[in-house]
């Protein structure tokens, strides 16, 4: 270091101002230590190929510091910025293998102070906020530009989605599949004549499940389930007003056969097919938003009475022997056998008495059996 100071002093004695006059001691000593020197004739700085880029950056940083555009801060000075690497705490470049408290004596008052750390943190946070806001602004501009381009291209190609003509079936009877009340495919005659201002999607006040349909011949085919979002007259979609006749829908799971179906209005990031809209919000025409049918189970009407059936003749059976009852006392009898499913109720036309057989006396049973035998065996 003394020989470098003598070299500069000799130039100054001859009236030559060195090129490193405005440089800090740390910067010019680092340059001299890596092969740089001063031309004794024209005071210019001479350096080798190895430090050419670093010396060029160092010259620019020193010039910016003299103009007030750069403010050195202890170890973050012109040399650290020119070398583009942070200073190591155990040594001081340009001063030797000495700690900062010796190599940077002029900034000794900043040690053990948290002010610099807080200032650095605030500067980093401010820089991050600026970068994020700039990125968000650029993304919004890019999204708005792409949406405008896709909407302009869509309006030029097809202002309104194509709806095929109505095909009315010659039979007014519903098929066995349609009679089940499924909404997998709806008839197009009602959906084509439906006014979009009176669509069910306009009447919802909260998110409810729905189905997304597309027209196909005279049917409307389900392509995906979703969640219908209430219509807001002032609502927007990617910073643009929602077109008339459309509503926002959150798609859940797209049917595999319809993943290549193109959207009428692509999403902001350029996604134009249903396969890209899983768990995303898209615009869908209101007349093709099918809401579930909320039906309460109706009470089933009582079954009509079965018509009277003819009595099937039964073979005569031996009457059960009942002990003669001299008084009104009754004996406990076993209940009659349970009739099978095929057994028919036989009308007893011969007796007008309402009494049961097990309540009769022996004489009454004999008379009843004789009457039955005579009735069934008569020619």
1-31 residue pLDDT tens: 666 777 777 777 777 777 777 777 777 777 7
Percent of the chain clearing pLDDT 70 (strictly above)? 61
Q: Is the pTM of this model over 0.85?
A: no
Q: What's the confidence (pLDDT) of residue 234?
A: 81
Percent of the chain clearing pLDDT 90 (strictly above)? 2
Question: Has residue 32 got a pLDDT over 50?
Answer: yes
Question: Mean pLDDT over residues 57-61, rounded?
Answer: 79
Q: What's the confidence (pLDDT) of residue 99?
A: 66
Q: How many angstroms separate the Cα of 332 from the Cα of each of 77, 81, 325, 358? A: 121, 119, 13, 9
Confidence of residue 153 (pLDDT cuts 50, 70, 90): confident
Q: What's the confidence (pLDDT) of residue 303?
A: 53
Residues in the chain: 379
Q: What's the confidence (pLDDT) of residue 177?
A: 39
Question: Has residue 62 got a pLDDT over 60?
Answer: yes
CA–CA dist 318, 375 (Å, integer): 16
Question: Mean pLDDT over residues 332-353, rounded?
Answer: 50
CA–CA dist 212, 224 (Å, integer): 5
Rg (CA), the chain: 51
Quote the mean pLDDT of the chain: 71
Question: Mean pLDDT over residues 144-157, rounded?
Answer: 82
CA–CA dist 26, 8 (Å, integer): 15
Among 296, 277, 287, which Cα is nearest to 210's?
Answer: 287
Per-domain boundaries in the chain? 2-109, 114-159, 181-290, 312-334+345-379
258-307 residue pLDDT tens: 888 888 888 877 788 888 888 888 889 888 898 877 544 444 455 555 55
CA–CA dist 238, 263 (Å, integer): 15
């Amino acid at each position: 270091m003394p020989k470098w100071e003598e070299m500069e002093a000799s130039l100054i004695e001859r009236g030559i101002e060195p090129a490193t006059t405005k440089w800090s001691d740390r910067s010019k000593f680092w340059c001299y230590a890596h092969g740089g020197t001063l031309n004794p004739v024209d005071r210019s700085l001479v350096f080798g190929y190895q430090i050419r880029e670093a010396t060029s950056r160092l010259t620019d940083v020193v010039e910016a510091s003299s103009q007030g555009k750069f403010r050195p801060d202890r170890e973050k000075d012109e040399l650290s910025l020119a070398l583009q690497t942070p200073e190591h705490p155990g040594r001081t470049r340009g001063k030797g293998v000495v700690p900062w408290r010796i190599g940077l004596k002029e900034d000794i008052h900043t040690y053990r102070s948290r002010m610099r750390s807080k200032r650095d943190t605030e500067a980093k946070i401010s820089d991050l906020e600026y970068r994020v806001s700039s990125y968000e602004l650029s993304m919004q501009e890019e999204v708005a530009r792409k949406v405008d381009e896709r909407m302009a291209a869509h309006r030029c190609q097809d202002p309104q989605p194509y709806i095929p003509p109505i095909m009315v079936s010659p039979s007014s009877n519903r098929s066995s599949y349609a009679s089940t009340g499924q909404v997998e495919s709806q008839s197009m005659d009602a959906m084509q004549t439906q006014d979009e201002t009176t669509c069910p999607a306009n009447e919802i006040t909260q998110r409810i499940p729905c189905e997304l349909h597309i027209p196909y011949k005279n049917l409307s085919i389900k392509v995906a389930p979703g969640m219908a979002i209430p219509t807001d007259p002032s609502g927007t979609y990617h910073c643009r007003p929602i077109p008339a006749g459309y509503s926002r829908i959150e798609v859940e799971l797209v049917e595999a056969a319809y993943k290549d179906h193109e959207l009428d209005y692509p999403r902001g990031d350029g996604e134009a097919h249903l396969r890209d809209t899983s768990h995303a919000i898209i615009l869908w025409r209101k007349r093709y938003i099918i809401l579930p049918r909320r039906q309460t189970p109706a009470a089933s009407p009582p079954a009509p009475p079965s018509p009277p059936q003819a009595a099937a003749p039964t073979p005569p059976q031996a009457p059960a022997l009942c002990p003669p009852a001299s008084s009104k006392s009754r004996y406990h009898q076993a209940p009659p056998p349970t009739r099978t499913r095929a057994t028919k109720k036989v009308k007893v036309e011969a007796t007008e008495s309402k009494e049961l057989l097990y309540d009769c006396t022996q004489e009454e049973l004999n008379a009843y059996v004789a009457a039955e035998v005579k009735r069934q065996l008569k020619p």
